[in-house]
Amino acid sequence: MMALRAGLLGIGMMGRHHARVLREVDGVDLVAIADPGGDPHGVAAGLDVLPDVDALIAAGIDLAVVAVPTRYHFDAAMTLADAGIHTLVEKPIAHSTEAGRQMAEAFSSRGLVGAVGHVERFNPALQELRRRLANGDVGEVYQIATRRQSTFPARIADVGVGMDLASHDIDLTAWVAQSDYKTVYAQTTFKSGREYEDMIALTGRLANGVIVNHLINWLSPMKERVTVVTGDRGTYIADTATGDLTFHANGTIAFEWDSVSSFRGVSEGDVTRFSFAKREPLRVEHEAFRDAVLGAPSDVVTMGQGLHTLEVVEGALSSASNGASVTF
């Protein structure tokens, strides 16, 4: 079988990684790259850097990856849909839910694969966590809390931390819990002198009753990517920066120290750091996209799923603006 001909729109900070991985995935051949800004990271590797999406389509491609700033997602994706090209768009799906809804409909109505690059779903720690939660290993899940903190990325100019980073945590939380969001309430701060928020604290509840909390900012000198799931048998901690998953079990040994046992609802048990295969999430994401294009079973993130994530992000930003919780 001939390899799928792939085109890449955008070779900036994220696009350069897509270029590398597209060249590594079996059954895919990166044949065209387009970016009006040229090739700042030197990833074209012999390919001409085309000026726009129309030139990319003219190269005769089967699938495309869109890795341009969020405000350009809609126009690029709609052009690719009109051309009959399967497309993976970086997260978030679009700059607004209405645009995302039109994109999802455009690909669905044409029988095309429309996917969103919520790459955290393909992180080995989260995939292992989801499997264990589905297996009931932690019992009833009470709460899912995430922390995603780092320094300010000067390259992000068109959205705030809600769209750029909270979309990761909202999507991965709904995915590992296998439940959509029901309510959300948020607060934001603006400290970097831009029109967009650089910190958001978000709380809410999933449809299955699980409480969620997300602390996300661009104002921290340290980088943190942590998901904590607390249930009646203990707590899982997934570090997506390292791909590690740890389980802190509730102890089964009764306390004999009265002053301690009187205020502790659970006791400390064994701590286990799991061993499992760790593959690069972006590569696994591209393999899922390839499989979806070929009609094979796939865990690709659909545009419909990406749209729900964007709806929750917009709901959180609306809540932060007017002080009221949002129900979906």
* pLDDT digits 0-9 by tens, 9-47: 999 999 999 999 999 999 999 999 999 999 999 999 989
3-state helix, strand, coil in the chain (%, to 5): 35, 30, 40
Given this model, what pLDDT does residue 251 score? 81
For CA atoms 9, 12, 13, 17, give the dihedral sign. positive
What is the mean pLDDT of the segment spanning 60-79?
97
**What is the spatial distance between Cα 115 and Cα 107, in angstroms, rounded to a whole number?**
9
pLDDT reading at 267 higher than 80: no
For CA atoms 26, 281, 172, 195, give the dihedral sign. negative
Given this model, what pLDDT does residue 152 score? 86
What is the mean pLDDT of the segment spanning 149-157?
83
pLDDT-derived band at 177 (thresholds 50, 70, 90) equals very high
* pLDDT digits 0-9 by tens, 249-264: 998 655 555 655 555 5
Check: CATH 3.50.50.60 for 4-120+282-301? no
CB 198 within 8 A of CB 161: yes
Q: Where exactly does CATH 3.30.360.10 map onto the chain?
A: 122-276+310-327
Q: How far is CA 140 from the centre of its chain?
A: 25
pLDDT-derived band at 165 (thresholds 50, 70, 90) equals very high
Tokens, residue 81: 């849909």
What is the mean pLDDT of the segment spanning 82-89?
98
* pLDDT digits 0-9 by tens, 127-151: 999 999 999 999 999 999 999 999 9
Given this model, what pLDDT does residue 255 score? 54
> What are the residues facing 230 on neighbouring strands?
143, 235
pLDDT reading at 265 higher than 70: no
Q: Where exactly does CATH 3.40.50.720 map onto the chain?
A: 4-120+282-301
What is the mean pLDDT of the segment spanning 108-114?
98
* pLDDT digits 0-9 by tens, 194-215: 899 999 999 999 999 999 999 9
pLDDT reading at 184 higher than 90: yes
Given this model, what pLDDT does residue 288 score? 98
Exposed e or buried b per residue across 81-120, where buried means at least 16 C-beta atoms within 10 angstroms of its C-beta:
bebebbbbbbbbbbbebebbbbbbebbeeeebbbbbbbbb
pLDDT-derived band at 302 (thresholds 50, 70, 90) equals very high
Asked if omega into 153 is within 30° of 0 (cis), the reply is no
**What is the spatial distance between Cα 178 and Cα 169, in angstroms, rounded to a whole number?**
14
CA-closest candidate to residue 299, choices 101, 128, 121: 121
What is the mean pLDDT of the segment spanning 210-228?
97
Return the H-helix or E-strand segment holding 236.
strand 234-239
Is pTM beyond 0.85 here? Answer: yes
What is the mean pLDDT of the segment spanning 65-89?
97
Given this model, what pLDDT does residue 269 score? 85
Q: What percent of the chain has pLDDT over 90?
A: 89
When the pLDDT of each residue in the chain is averaged and rounded to a whole number, the result is 94
Q: Residue 171 — left, alpha, or beta (φ > 0 → left; ψ -120 to 50 → alpha)?
A: alpha
pLDDT-derived band at 154 (thresholds 50, 70, 90) equals confident
pLDDT-derived band at 182 (thresholds 50, 70, 90) equals very high
Given this model, what pLDDT does residue 234 score? 96
**What is the spatial distance between Cα 16 and Cα 30, in angstroms, rounded to a whole number?**
12
CATH architecture of the domain 122-276+310-327 equals 2-Layer Sandwich (3.30)
**What is the spatial distance between Cα 179 and Cα 38, in angstroms, rounded to a whole number?**
42
